[in-house]
Structure 1
Amino acid sequence: MTRKGGTSQACAACKYQRKRCTPECPLAPHFRPEQTEIFKNAHKLFGVRNILRILEHVNPALKNEAMRSIIYQANMRDRSPVHGCLGVIYQLQYQIRHAEKELYAVLSQLDLYKQHHRHQQEITSSPMESQQLQLGIGFEQSELPFFQNEVNDHTPHIQYHNHNHKKNTKMDI
């Protein structure tokens, strides 16, 4: 049971079938000689004839991926005879749903922390702003020189206005 040249062993498929492994053996690249258990699982689930039929009908560029899928499905069926790959799919879907719920919980918690942080910043703002807020005096951000798009003169100024009297006053700093 050696390949042409007599130096290499027969693939697991040929070894299991007690056939001579030729260099043209379509299963040799997928079942190395030491992988007899993997071949037995694939043989039990699909059968050699069906595996060969699948390989004949698959695009040559996708043959390796098709065999990986066949081997994976056969191994999963061997590990879990009742559920096989479907059990793995359901388990992974459950883990995804659980991770999504956890992500949404973390994002909502993060949003609460951000809101709390903004609220704390408003409370502990500069002393001048605190006094103005207590007196009912405030200023708009658009009126501050560093928020203005155009500054007419180079003297920084802040415009204050009293919301109670609707009268604007301008003070230079």
Structure 2
Amino acid sequence: MSGRCAACKNQRRRCPSDCIFSPYFPANDPERFARVHRIYGGSNVGKMLQQIPSYLREQAANSLYFEAQCRIQDPVYGCAGIISKLYEQINSTEIALAHVQTQIACQKLQVPQAKAESNFNVFPAQNSSTAEFQWESQVPWFN
């Protein structure tokens, strides 16, 4: 009796040697099967595992367990709630990235302007009544 898997213990039955549940729901983790059983039902889980190839069953059992945990924690949205939150995070991160890229582009545009402004000197005219300025000939487009 001690060699029963968590599924067979939960369902109070004898665990056959070819039990579909035993590789994926070990006896030392009964909560794992209890959560999956609570959401999907034991017979439905058994049917799902039998319908898929044996090399994919472990991934399927892990997925069922994860989805059951999500559904228990959030009965309304389950995994969809997590996916929605992740999409929101991706969207806000993309917006923040675009904002930073825009700031970088603006900074790059301002650097050449600052260099061009430093290439000429503006002196007030001797006569303060007129607003004349003298430009140095270092500005390439002024000549």
Give the structure 2 partner of residue 75 of structure 1.
Answer: 69
Letter in 1 for 2:113: H
Give matches, 1:78-97, under 5 Å. 78-97=72-91
Structure with the larger RCO, 1 or 2 (CA within 8 Å, 6+ apart): 2
Q: How many residues align?
A: 129
Are residues 131 and 22 of structure 1, via their aligned partners in 2, closer, same or farther at CA, if it must alter by over 3 Å? farther
Letter in 2 for 1:132: Q
The structure having more radius of gyration, on CA atoms, is: 1
Cα deviations across residues 56-94 of structure 1 (Å, max 9, x unaligned)? 221333222211111111111111122211211211111
Offset, 1:134? 6.3
Partner SS, residue 20 of structure 1? coil
Give the structure 2 partner of residue 150 of structure 1.
Answer: none
State whether residues 2 and 21 of structure 1, in contact with CA within 8 Å, keep that contact through their aligned partners in structure 2.
no
Two-structure CA RMSD over aligned residues (Å): 2.4
Point out where structure 1 has 5 or more consecutive residues left out of the alignment.
Answer: 4-9, 138-173
- Give the counterpart of 1:45 among 33, 39, 50: 39
Give the structure 1 partner of residue 133 of structure 2.
Answer: none
Matched, 1:111 2:117: no
TM-score by length of structure 2 reads 0.76
Are residues 134 and 108 of structure 1, via their aligned partners in 2, closer, same or farther at CA, if it must alter by over 3 Å? closer
Q: Percent identity?
A: 31
- Give the counterpart of 2:142 among 124, 136, 139: 136
Partner SS, residue 121 of structure 1? helix
Are residues 135 and 55 of structure 1, via their aligned partners in 2, closer, same or farther at CA, if it must alter by over 3 Å? closer
Offset, 1:32? 2.1
Letter in 2 for 1:2: S
What is the rounded CA distance, in whole Å, between the counterparts of 1:32 and 1:23 in structure 2?
Answer: 13
Cα deviations across residues 16-60 of structure 1 (Å, max 9, x unaligned)? 112233442211121122322221111111111111111122133
Offset, 1:123? 3.5
